[in-house]
Chains A and B, each alone.
Chain A
Amino acid sequence: MNIQTLLSTLGGGVLIGSAACGLLYFNGRLAGISNLLTGLMPPGTGDMPWRFAFVLGLLAAGMLLLAVYPQAFGAAPRPLWVLGFGGFLVGLGAQISNGCTSGHGVCGLGRRSLRSLVATLTFMGTGMATVFLFNRLNGG
């Protein structure tokens, strides 16, 4: 790990944390992406405008990154059906446990929530076990 990687990952983390704090301070909302997206699915909730605005911000940043820092992106080294199956489990799991990496990991830990600590340790653990098994099965 070189110094540049170190600084960009730490800097990225600080930006993520700042955004979560800013959204809570100004809007009173938690930056949990899966819950935010669920509220946009039909029939929707009464607070669609800020949700849409946040997602538009995400996409605007995506376009900005694509223009000035395209190396931020890379395709997943997985076949499409694995990405589809993974996506389904990510959605299902986030909904059942009421949060994802941002909701439980960033915001929940900030709120000192025991639920979020348990969720974060659990998905880190099963994620690591999955990568381990996937690589073994693929002769890695």
Chain B
Amino acid sequence: MPIVSAFLWGLIFALGLGLAGMTRPEKILGFLDIGGNWDPSLMLVMGGAVGLTFILFPRILRRGRPVLGDRFDLPVRKYVDGRLVGGAGLFGIGWGLSGYCPGPAVVSLVTADAGVWVFLACMFGGLAAGRWLNARQAVRLATLDTAAIEAVQLPGSADGT
């Protein structure tokens, strides 16, 4: 059942993207072109989508568990840091260059347009590169923490030696 559910919500999600015009890069680029020939209609997409999630998400989460699962799987990070802002900044530059973000690009695969295939292939390359960078960062942080703990413990001879 969770599989059928995921398939159906994916289908509805993508029908929404198509109806909203998110799968037309020209429209996205028009929306981002505030200094030129601005097309503000995509604000309605965000309005419609976020309007619903903003009202319904808290009610759904109050249930304690999803209908077809044991628990809600949510991100735990709360802090705003350089990685968040820097990553989002790079994402926006790529979005503004291409007119595609990940969801609409996947849906547009069916058009067999060379541009969207190139975009997606390079996007997966970027995802892999980012994952590698994140892993390196995690290792560095872990090393730093260990060093800090050792520095604190050594003078006091915490282990009694």
Q: Chain A residues in contact with chain B, CB under 8 A? A: 1, 5-6, 8-31, 33-34, 37-38, 41, 49-51, 53-66, 69, 72-78, 80, 82-98, 100-102, 104-107, 109-115, 118-120, 122-132, 134-135, 140
Contacts and interface: CB of A to CB of B under 8 A. Distances in A.
Interface stretch (B63-71, B141-149, B151-159): B63-71
B50 A17 contact: yes
A93 B50 contact: no
B93 A58 contact: no
A8 B20 contact: yes
14 contacts: A21-B53, A21-B57, A26-B2, A58-B14, A60-B14, A61-B18, A66-B110, A73-B111, A95-B129, A111-B74, A112-B58, A115-B84, A131-B32, A132-B34
Interface in B83-113: 83-103, 105-111, 113
Interface of B: 2-27, 29, 32-36, 39-42, 44-54, 56-58, 60-61, 63, 65-75, 77-80, 83-103, 105-111, 113-116, 118-131, 133-134
A92 B127 contact: yes
Contact of A33 (B60, B106, B130): B106
A75 B6 contact: no
Contacts, number: 505
Contacts of B15: 12, 15, 61, 64-65
A109 B46 CA distance: 10
B152 to A, nearest CB: 30
B80 A115 contact: yes
Given A27-B68, A50-B2, A10 B47 contact: yes
Given A13-B20, A27-B2, A134-B96, A62 B49 contact: no
Contacts of B65: 28
Contacts of A122: 84-85, 88-89, 92
B118 A80 contact: yes
B21 A12 contact: yes
A128 B51 CA distance: 23
Most buried by B among A11, A53, A82, A135: A53
Nearest to B36: A135
Most buried by B among A26, A37, A91: A91
B54 to A, nearest CB: 5
B57 A55 contact: no
A30 B74 contact: yes
B88 A104 contact: yes
A106 B46 CA distance: 7
A109 B54 contact: yes
A45 to B, nearest CB: 11
